[in-house]
Structure 1
Amino acid sequence: MDRIIQGFLKDFLSSQQIKEKDESKQFEMFASYCTIYQHYQDSFNLSDVLCGSSGDCGIDALAIIVNGKMITAKEEIEDLIEYNGSLTDIYVIFVQAKTSPKFSNSEIGVFGTGVIDFLSEKPQFVQNEVIQEKCKILNYILQNASKMKKLPIGILYYVSLGKWNEDKNCKANISKIKKRVEDLNLFSDVSFVPVDVVQLQKYYRETLNVLETEIDFSNNVVLPDIPNIVQSYLGYIDYSEYKKLITTDSGEINKAVFYDNVRDYQGDNSVNKAIAESIENLPNNFILLNNGVTIICRDLTIVRTKFTLKEYQIVNGCQTSHELYKHGKEKDNLQIPIKIIQTTDEDTISKIIIATNTQTEVTNEQLMSLKEFHRRLEDFYATFGKNNQRLYYERRSRQYDGESIEKVRIVSISTQIKSVASMFFDKPHLASRFYGKLLEGTKDIFDSSHLFMPYYCSAYALYRLEYMFRNKLLPNEYRKFRYHLLMLLKYDISNGKIPEMNEKRMETFCNKIISCVDDNEKLIAEVNKLMKKIELIYGDLSNSELTKSASLVTKLKECYIRR
């Protein structure tokens, strides 16, 4: 194995807390993470994309991304349709990775055949549980084709430790596979990307980089001194420069820069159609017809007309940016009004985001990440210092980029909602839903009177369960019940009345749970005990639909209420 890749692999395994000894399995995980990251920069759980071994159809990893979200259950698609009314930016990403020092034409063929079988109406290959679940998700998306603004984009990554030398046989085979996938008429675009050792090195470096972009911003004026603002500028730039701020090195739109923008891209609604029309028909007038874009950065370096933005977010202009990305290519004299603000003051950032996003209707849920509760919760997480119980609450996407911390210790808002709703609000059957839907059904989450300890406790228990599953210390078939296990841990350890979220006793209770999950042997014994309760109610644990059943939750709770 290439020595640089060896170093990167070691770093990756450490950051993901992976103890896997099989080098080929290690490489599959590494290659899958690097390639999928090209299209999804938010944190994601590798277990949600890896396809296992037996019955994987020759596919090492399969990621489905819709509306900028990593989809792990068809219920999330239902929720996205309900919330947004449409499905946009759909990516279906297949990965196969080999440690071979050369590209194997036969292995490429096996990979292509597996993908084509997966995509067929009546697959012939044996499919394991993971592949079956991915099939259900994709089929549900295709059944809702009327909600799509555009057919999905299909991408096949074949990763090798060899050097891609444009081998004629391999290229011919790739073209043949690509054509067969295109002929299925499921995708608006199909790519087959051979990734060699040099490209893989580049991909991994991109996962480590702090968001940084240089633009030419000559047409600007300096804004007056403002409290808590280091510097700020108002002006306009050509689209060719603006595009650098919103795209990745591979030319994809960079979802990570819109995290603090409280509205997702809304697709072809009336407002966005008007933006698209002005780009297409009146590019010279765009600067007059558009309100512009607001960018907040934490570091800004200026050399003459060159502005280098680090750790920046487009907090107002998500819709404009997506329409520019779709329609701005090849347009001359297309200029975008922008405002660049450098500040690290959280209150100021929140005020700017609220002010620039409440000119049109924005729900309370969309603004929840700006609440004081989340800032204080982030500080509470930090009180656990540098010990093994340290987790990092991530209010902003990629806010910990560039820091030498294990990625699996980062807790996103969505993960926090799912863990606390499952453990302390008895909603594990809803954890597969889009987190906005889950929050809607559990309105008391993030109440200002709540202690922070149960939020941390639930996230830490989930972190420990994921560690045990990832490293095969618990059977992987139990993983789909991880949210139910969070709820059952609470009931089993309580031995009586469970404290309220604002009671002082809650802290002592949470410490009991943490003490249990912190010890591998105790946790294994506890999980085996809890899984027996689930098996008593439903004998067939292979049925993934069980995890979405409200009746299962009711029956599990009755086991403890009656005792």
Structure 2
Amino acid sequence: MAKNDVVLLDSIVEKCRPQFGAELDDGELFELFSFDQILKDYEPSFEDLEAGWTDGGNDGGLDGFFIYIDDQIATGDSVHLASKRQPEIDVHVLSVKRAAKFQQQPIDTLISSLAELLDLSIDNDNLSYPYNSDVISQRDLFTSNYVALADRQPSLNITVHYCSRGDASNIATNLRGRADTLIETLEGLFSHSTLRFRFVGATELLESARKQRDFTLRLPFTESYISREGQNYILLCPLSGYNKFICDGDGNLRRYLFESNVRAYLGDVQINRDIQETLNRGPGLGNGDFWWLNNGITILGTKASVAGKELCVENVQIVNGLQTTETIYRYFQGSVTEINDERAVLVKIILAADPETRARIVKATNYQNTVELASLRGLDKIQRDIEQFLFDRGWFYDRRKNVYKNEGRPAERIISVSYLAGAVRAIALGDPAKSSRQRSKSLRDDETYHKTFNTNWDLDVFLSSLEIIRAVESVMHSRRKQLDSPPSTFVHYVGFAYTCEQLGKFPYQPEDTVGIAVPNAEDVQRIRNELEEASEEFQGPGRKYAGVKLSKSFIDEFVKNKFATAQDA
């Protein structure tokens, strides 16, 4: 490890403080930074990082516990994310220590914890260690998805990352031995799986942080091209040249080029087997050119210029042809190709800078295929209107994932579409019992979506819902060091009860919430105490958090009892 790597890494991490949160201590900041670098290929949002952040009391050595299904972060109802016939489940467990060297104790702790946390035969009630609710929640998330997808023969990959500011190129023999023991422990739990242990030091984190995404790329072409006044292009690109176009300097696929492509790679399905078979035939008389048998690629850009036999395209986004692209990538990764392979792929380049025009193009190029409806929601006019309205008021609405994160905007001001959907259901629609569980449904189900993002509402309805929930969350959130972070359901219950109190009634209309002052710490504590007292008298079912029962029957009865006079009147 170079002597100055730690100094440079510390400087980069500190520059991230305004973005991740000024109130974080050095250890917490280093944890979030490490999560972001380790998961970089997944393009995690701040909300994604928060979801898998399990550090705190009784964490069993797990500072981060992340589950991805087919490259998308898992949620409570994320089985629908598995688009492949044989889905890939990627589990990333992270132990992050800001120490200047690697030590044995964190690995020993992980061996003990993972041996039972990943043992599906052990119920939560029979775990020998009192793990915090964040760890248990992620364990349940992994277990439920892994079991639900078992009949589809998922590919399971578990990677344990031990991150520090130490030298990963010079690991002591005893540490490597303990890492091997951990892998052997996992091998005893899972067959036919890929298991890895990684030491990630200052040099590796520094190299990851220095990698920048390049959206201005050169696309080679054969012969001539078709263009109308230099505004759009149709060309044939050599297969090998296209492979270089989609790969970074390390030979990895530039997945960020597909942010506007609404579909995921579908894996071993018939269309991809057909593409692979065509590629495997190779060049030769009678086989035909590749582009004869393929629909080609559609690329969206803002500017382009021709230099020799290359087209330089700015702000590249591949909006259609992901299946072809990834199959080409895998072909060049896994086979010895012919040196004289002159086959080509058809590429269409459309230049458009206007956001609305780009949105129409993305929709038009994908409507011809079966696409998860939720993937197109961010292109709707109501979503663009909300984004602009919130932007003018200091909020950054992430309808296009990670746009604002990549601009360096502060995490506490970035709001995802699903986060806003949950806030609206809890506050504007007065339905906190379903607000968290149906956040994904608010995007997938057409009826639920239009109810949640009602185009007839004043946009202030969305702002009020957001600011009430965010204010409650900021008061209740403990940042791991003392208490578990509150589940979103609990936050929504408190926000909903506060809204009813301010209005003095329930039910109410969504527009009634406009103008409600956001709660302060005293308001949140008072409502929390009232909910806890009511929970002690409530005889119905419901799991408890901080003494409050989280069930629909409880919150319905609480509101009815507290506002019975107002309702009767």
Give the shorter-chain TM-score range: 0.7 to 0.9
Q: Distance in 2 between matches of 1:281 and 1:410?
A: 48
Letter in 2 for 1:376: D
Q: Distance in 2 between matches of 1:187 and 1:299?
A: 47
Q: Distance in 2 between matches of 1:256 and 1:545?
A: 42
**Correspondence 1:93-242 to 2 at 5 A:** 93-121=92-120, 122=122, 124-148=128-152, 150-167=154-171, 169=173, 170-186=175-191, 188-206=193-211, 209=212, 211-212=214-215, 214-219=217-222, 221-225=225-229, 231-242=231-242
CA contact (8 A) 2:494 2:527 kept: no
1:76 aligns with 2:75: no
Q: Distance in 2 between matches of 1:467 and 1:306?
A: 51
Q: 1:295 aligns with which of 275, 289, 299?
A: 299
Q: 2:487 aligns with which of 470, 479, 483?
A: 479
Q: Distance in 2 between matches of 1:110 and 1:117?
A: 12
Query: What is the Cα deviation at residue 345 of structure 1?
Result: 0.9
1:260 aligns with 2:264: no
Normalising by the residue count of structure 2, what TM-score does the alignment of the two structures yield? 0.82
1:88 aligns with 2:95: no
> 1:139-170 deviations in whole A, cap 9, x for unaligned?
22232344545312111111111122233513
The equivalent residue for 2:459 is 452
CA contact (8 A) 2:532 2:547 kept: no
The equivalent residue for 1:370 is 379
The equivalent residue for 2:346 is 337
Query: What is the Cα deviation at residue 100 of structure 1?
Result: 1.9
**Correspondence 1:30-45 to 2 at 5 A:** 30-45=33-48
Change (3 A) 1:305 1:371: same
**Correspondence 1:62-73 to 2 at 5 A:** 62-73=65-76
Change (3 A) 1:273 1:25: same
- Farther-moved stretch of structure 1 (154-163 vs 290-299): 290-299
The equivalent residue for 1:2 is 6
The equivalent residue for 1:555 is 557
Q: Distance in 1 between matches of 2:487 and 2:244?
A: 40
User: Could you say what secondary structure the match of 1:377 adopts?
Assistant: helix
Normalising by the residue count of structure 1, what TM-score does the alignment of the two structures yield? 0.83
Letter in 2 for 1:257: L
1:541 aligns with 2:544: yes
Q: How many residues align?
A: 538
1:463 aligns with 2:462: no
> 1:180-212 deviations in whole A, cap 9, x for unaligned?
434433563222221111211233344xx4552
Q: Distance in 1 between matches of 2:467 and 2:248?
A: 32
**Correspondence 1:360-509 to 2 at 5 A:** 360-362=369-371, 365-384=374-393, 390-400=394-404, 402-433=406-437, 435-439=439-443, 440=445, 442=448, 443-472=450-479, 476=484, 478-480=486-488, 481-496=490-505, 500-501=509-510, 503=511, 506=512, 509=513
Query: What is the Cα deviation at residue 32 of structure 1?
Result: 2.4
Q: Equivalent pairs: percent with the same residue?
A: 20
Change (3 A) 1:540 1:497: closer
> 1:54-108 deviations in whole A, cap 9, x for unaligned?
33221111001113332243x333x446xx5857332100101112212224433
User: Could you say what secondary structure the match of 2:225 adopts?
Assistant: strand
Q: Distance in 2 between matches of 1:543 and 1:281?
A: 63
Query: What is the Cα deviation at residue 495 of structure 1?
Result: 1.4
Q: Distance in 1 between matches of 2:140 and 2:92?
A: 15
RMSD, aligned CA: 3.6
- Farther-moved stretch of structure 1 (392-401 vs 370-379): 392-401
- Farther-moved stretch of structure 1 (452-461 vs 305-314): 305-314
Letter in 2 for 1:344: A
Change (3 A) 1:531 1:459: farther
Letter in 2 for 1:29: L
Letter in 2 for 1:399: V
Query: What is the Cα deviation at residue 468 of structure 1?
Result: 3.2
The equivalent residue for 1:387 is none
Q: Distance in 2 between matches of 1:255 and 1:555?
A: 49
Change (3 A) 1:299 1:20: same
Query: What is the Cα deviation at residue 254 of structure 1?
Result: 5.4
1:56 aligns with 2:59: yes
Q: Distance in 2 between matches of 1:131 and 1:193?
A: 21
Q: Distance in 2 between matches of 1:36 and 1:452?
A: 34
Q: Distance in 2 between matches of 1:341 and 1:3?
A: 44
Letter in 2 for 1:115: L
Change (3 A) 1:65 1:402: closer
Q: Distance in 2 between matches of 1:252 and 1:468?
A: 42
- Farther-moved stretch of structure 1 (31-40 vs 54-63): 31-40
> 1:402-432 deviations in whole A, cap 9, x for unaligned?
5342133222222222221222224433344
Letter in 2 for 1:108: I
- Farther-moved stretch of structure 1 (452-461 vs 114-123): 114-123
User: Could you say what secondary structure the match of 2:155 adopts?
Assistant: coil
Letter in 2 for 1:58: G
Q: Distance in 2 between matches of 1:92 and 1:71?
A: 10
> 1:336-388 deviations in whole A, cap 9, x for unaligned?
3222233211232122122211223447654332222122211211221xxxx
